[in-house]
Amino acid sequence: MSRDLPKGDIPTLILAVLKDTPRHGYAIAREIERLSAEALHLREGSLYPALRVLEQDGHIIGNWEIPESGPARKVYTLTESGTKELARRTAEWEQYARLMQTILKGGSPDEQPT
């Protein structure tokens, strides 16, 4: 399976890969690909608008870094608000996944898998 990411999932995945270390846009995209064993691909046309919204919402902070060689790049760091937002999105995703699993397995809501 190799596919592009649904637009609504992109912010959650960005927050997840920023939870441990700051990264620039290209590194965020490559980390999502690496963690998904190359199954998910994040295009620039989806990545940078999502980063902009997350930054406007205060969930990440972008700072320009100028390396010794090569062009300047904006490095994004998760904020306290972003950590809380990631926890909220993770809980919602886990609940959604449990419900889907219940439906796909033909169970009842009382028999949700853990």
Q: Where are the alpha helices (DSSP H) in 6-106?
A: 10-18, 25-35, 44-56, 80-105
Q: What is the pLDDT along the chain (114 residues), one digit of tens a residue?
A: 455 666 689 999 999 999 999 999 999 999 999 999 999 988 888 999 999 999 999 999 999 999 888 899 999 999 999 999 999 999 999 999 999 999 999 876 665 555
* Domain assignment present for 73: yes
**pLDDT per residue over 6-15, tens digit each?**
668 999 999 9
* Domain assignment present for 114: no
* Domain assignment present for 100: yes
* Domain assignment present for 29: yes
- Residue 29: per-residue pLDDT: 95
Q: List the domain range (segments joined by +) for residue 9.
A: 3-107
- Residue 19: per-residue pLDDT: 97
- Residue 47: per-residue pLDDT: 93
Domains held by the chain: number? 1
The number of residues making up the chain comes to: 114
For residue 28, the domain's CATH number is 1.10.10.10
Cβ distance 84 to 101 under 8 Å?
no
- Residue 110: per-residue pLDDT: 63
